[in-house]
Amino acid sequence: MNARPMNSQVHELKAQEFEFEAMNLQVGMRLQFITHRQVKPVQHFSTLIGYVKDEYIIVKIPMEHGAPITLGDGERVTIRVFSGVNVCSFACTVERVFPRPLFYAHLSFPTAIQGTSLRGAARVKADIPVSIKASGIGAATVHGSIVDVSVTGVRIHSAQSLPPDGEEVTLDFTVLPPSGTHAVRIETRAIVRNRTASQAAGESREVFSYGVQFVDLDPMHYTLLQNLTYEALLADRLKIV
């Protein structure tokens, strides 16, 4: 089974103003670092080193192809961060660059912060092959595609029918962690929660859609799916399902 990256083409929520404390910034947390030198903004990833409130923020200079990107004093950048509850972003300028061997920069302290509050189990669009097996000896394996994912469950499209609502199944799928090189196989129990059937344009057969809720998901897999979800949210401009 091949791992496929998540494609977060999802719906956008209304942004609102946030106070600095609402971002819950922690040393070492991952940030999205966006430069505006070209017509289209370029997205990188960075790490928070620290900050002095109302004065400046200290971040690692993003790396690209094994080397730090070039930054100039006074350059405008946008920082985006997931706080654990909100996805927030703010504009700032580069105040000072500390090159080799430190590779960090001082950024101006934010004066306006925009953010979106997320529900407990934010979902993002996906395209991940999955095998589904019903409980019971001799049960057949059904194949489908995970079309959106959260830490609590997934939505599956399949040309084959799954067990009815309330029945337990076993899911088997593979995902690629953010910035990872090795795919991770997830095999977990789940409960079928709802079922709909539709007919795709130009197709004679029905396509089934199922909401499936995880049961006792492994904590390591929970963290993996959480990171995948948040990475997609940060990379796709506050967009979620």
Average pLDDT, rounded, for the chain: 83
Q: Which of 117, 134, 157 is the last residue of a domain?
A: 117
The single residue listed with the structure tokens 């590779």 is 103
Same domain, 100 and 173: no
Same domain, 136 and 200: yes
pLDDT at residue number 239: 47
Same domain, 108 and 142: no
**Band of the pLDDT at 88, cuts 50, 70, 90?**
confident
pLDDT at residue number 220: 86
Same domain, 181 and 79: no
CB of 142 closer than 8 Å to CB of 163:
no
Question: What pTM did the predictor assign?
Answer: 0.57
Q: Answer with the residue of higher pLDDT: 92 or 14.
A: 92
| Beta partners for residue 87, in sequence order | 82, 116
Same domain, 160 and 222: yes
Same domain, 141 and 101: no
